[in-house]
A and B are shown apart, each in its own frame.
Chain A
């Protein structure tokens, strides 16, 4: 009889090309949490996320902001004595939560990433001003003033692009993408 994979296996399966030991080898030493510069800002530390995954607490994991606050600095991956690729696990959890459309309200990360991907899909290049709507009103009045001031200074120094760049073979580029995600657009 078929059995449902555990949550831990489900998350491990989200790593398609990256090498990592299975999440189940975690011994809860906490090296990841102590090396993580973003851990103080997370609701659950990386070690706690691994414990929740082991315990099959899927809803609690999906409700956490931890992986959206991972900056991908790879300290945890470097230092994990059990060889778990924790930073890539954080990436996998981001994919999982976007796929399930389940993440805590008020996070900027999911919207920001989606916008970024769409911009590149359109032109083949990134374009900073196109990303601004994802965050510009979300850092309070002081944040908004600071961002506006920074944008102005960048502009005056000739460092802000105002026109999106587009690659030449954009049609081919979109077809390449279409062959990876065949249902997203007709290749």
Chain B
């Protein structure tokens, strides 16, 4: 069994608890152990970068230093936290002066950053570390006939310019591959790499609603049953504000937004309850019932 350090991040404690439990459940089935990081702190989100860049990197460095003590690579489910920690690590490794400065601060918590731990997104874990082929072998209940739109969002791939281990930056396919591996039909929609509006939902609602509208419409135009995300902020923006988008634009959008780990879990035969299905605003019931009707046909595992 392969073991990783795991940083849930603040959103996964409550708001996106379904992402947390479904990630852990899927990992277990795939023979991966995720050990929660002890005493982790907030990654600083985007707000800390509005105040002080070094301070923002220090917040991530504390988490990285705690992870290093376990000797395990660090898995992060939230795309925002992932971007912060991945790039804090890169900056500190490339800039010894910055690392020295931040290490002086970390001494106050008896910690030291050395750059020995890699940072992985949960999507990266399942696609590349576990592997799509391994997942195919473990699928018990292929989600046949379900049209699933894999939404990448921004912070998993960008601000990288070149292809990374996780996949290509401008024309990625790995999320589609994962959706296909669980038996669903991946929907190719033009806005799969567009922004969900992020914190503009608070700071400029009009702009965020426009972005959410364009994104969802783009998925609906391609006949999407369920849209899956790999980020708690994208999930909240796309589902909680769908009603407000409909008011604003006179549309009748009704797209269930799930975490990809929830559908992966279903395909792996994990009961819905253990995946937090039902806690979404726009119910996925109707779409999922389409799949269960076909369950009568026995599937070899």
| Interface positions of A (Cβ within 8 A of B) | 14-18, 37-38, 40-41, 68-69, 71-75, 77-78, 85, 87-88, 91-92, 94-95, 98, 107-110, 112-114, 116-117, 120, 124-128, 131, 134-135, 139, 142-143, 146, 149-150, 153-154, 157-161, 165, 167-169, 172-173, 175-181, 187
Contact = CB atoms under 8 A, between A and B. Distances in A.
Contacts of A167: 39-41
Q: Which 8 A-B pairs have the closest CB atoms?
A: A73-B195, A74-B158, A175-B108, A116-B47, A179-B105, A172-B109, A41-B207, A17-B91
Interface string B17-53: 1000000000000000000000111101111111111
B204 A160 contact: no
A108 B203 contact: yes
Nearest to A42: B207
B21 to A, nearest CB: 12
B48 A117 contact: yes
B110 to A, nearest CB: 7
A37 B190 CA distance: 14
Interface residues of B, number: 70
Contacts of A91: 46, 49-50, 53
B109 A77 contact: no
Given A38-B204, A74-B154, A139-B205, A180 B109 contact: no
B50 A168 contact: no
Contacts of A160: 14-15
Given A17-B57, A113-B50, A187-B108, A77 B41 contact: no
B51 A114 contact: yes
Interface stretch (B129-137, B138-146, B240-248): B240-248
Contact of B198 (A73, A146, A165, A180): A73
A85 B11 CA distance: 28
A126 B10 CA distance: 6
B55 interface: yes
Nearest to B170: A78
30 contacts: A17-B95, A37-B195, A41-B206, A69-B204, A71-B197, A72-B154, A72-B198, A73-B158, A73-B194, A73-B198, A74-B155, A74-B158, A75-B158, A85-B159, A110-B50, A112-B199, A112-B203, A113-B46, A117-B51, A127-B10, A160-B14, A161-B15, A165-B13, A167-B40, A176-B62, A176-B105, A176-B106, A177-B58, A180-B52, A181-B55
What's the dominant secondary structure at chain B's contact region? Answer: helix
Contacts of B10: 125-127, 165
A121 to B, nearest CB: 10
B72 interface: no
B210 to A, nearest CB: 8
Interface of B: 10-11, 13-17, 39-42, 44-55, 57-59, 62, 91, 95, 98, 101-102, 104-110, 154-155, 158-161, 169-170, 194-195, 197-200, 202-208, 210-211, 214, 240-241, 243-244, 247, 279, 281
A120 B158 contact: no
B154 A179 contact: no
B59 to A, nearest CB: 8
A84 B52 CA distance: 20
Given A116-B47, A172-B109, A153 B281 contact: yes
A173 B207 contact: no
Given A125-B42, A173-B41, A180 B53 contact: no
A15 B195 CA distance: 23
A38 to B, nearest CB: 5
Nearest to B44: A120
A68 B50 CA distance: 10
Nearest to A70: B200
